[in-house]
Amino acid sequence: MLINERDTRRERLLQVANEMMTAARTAPKGKGFDIIEVALVADETIEELSKAMLEYSQKTGMKFITRDAENILQAEAIMLVGTAQKMHSLNCGYCGFATCTEKNEFPEVPCAINTVDVGIAIGSACSVATDHRVDSRVMFSVGRVAQELGMMPGCSSVYGIPISCSSKSPFFDRISKSPFFDRISKTPPVL
């Protein structure tokens, strides 16, 4: 039997994505509450997300989202991770308010502990990708638009982690081919 690596690439990448989701779920939490939500985007849903990102880029003028929308089309899968908002009653002040009660008067301000939990989950997931030598990149843009589309209901601080396996990572040295991007700036920003 001879199995060409290209013939099993998608299957292997989806297995890594599943392991990344496990790592995000089991990542340490600031106060131990399991409020992290994790999902996987694949196949035609990547194309739908990319299209929505292009529209969001046009609407907001955030040109880097156009580049990212093109870029995720080279991914086999995208892991989404976000957090539900929960008051921890620590009165730690990390969010900028003296008490949790004071912060809750501004529900649009995320709890810092919840946000840190998302960061820890992202790091755990990306470490799995690295351990498997799979290319990945953390993208705020993917998570923001996924949140707009309702892919992560009840979550805030959503991020996307596209993954790929190719000769060179498609998530670096990225230049947009979009006329919208070129019209706004000839030189893409370094992010």
Amino acid (1-letter code) at residue 62: M
CB 52 within 8 A of CB 141: no
Tell me the two tokens of residue 85. Answer: 């908002």
Domains in the chain and their CATH numbers? 26-85+115-184 (3.40.109.10)
For the stretch 7-51, pLDDT in tens is: 888 999 999 999 999 999 999 998 888 899 999 999 999 999 999
For the stretch 63-78, pLDDT in tens is: 999 999 999 999 999 9
As a whole number of angstroms, the distance between CA 29 and CA 37 comes to: 13
